[in-house]
Amino acid sequence: MHEAQLLAMVNCSDLSLDIAAFCCLCKLADTQDCHFDPEGGYSVQFRYLADFMGQLFKKYSGVDVQPILCYICHMIRDENQFTLAYVIFVVLKTMYGWSDIVVDLLKADQLD
């Protein structure tokens, strides 16, 4: 499904692609949405957004990923929103084709 959306963006300008990345950042920053489903796993919408961002940054390498990664790192550091580490995991995994990434859990004192 992501592939069809990304193919539709082939003729978009660089500015349009940057706006798409900004919209992803706005959706990620929207604190009204819960990142978890009732069973305690990541919600479908949250997983979809992370996967879409990874596919977007992989297909269109000219789109700057730094603002999203900086936002996520600041939220993890300042607001203790560790669920956003999942987005970093998915974006890096998708962009670089890593299939066997193992993420060790960091303790709070390691993040300081």
Which residue carries 């995991």 as its tokens? 89
Where does residue 91 rank: exposed (0-12), middle (13-18), buried (19+ CB within 10 A)?
buried
Residue 97 φ then ψ, to 5°: 75, 20
Q: Where are the domains of the chain?
A: 2-111
- The average confidence (pLDDT) of the chain is 77
Note the pTM of the prediction, 2 decimals.
0.73
Backbone angles phi, psi at 15, to 5 degrees: -65, -40
pLDDT tens digits, one per residue of 10-52: 778 888 888 888 988 888 887 655 677 777 777 788 888 888 8
The values of phi and psi at residue 36, to 5°, are -115, 150
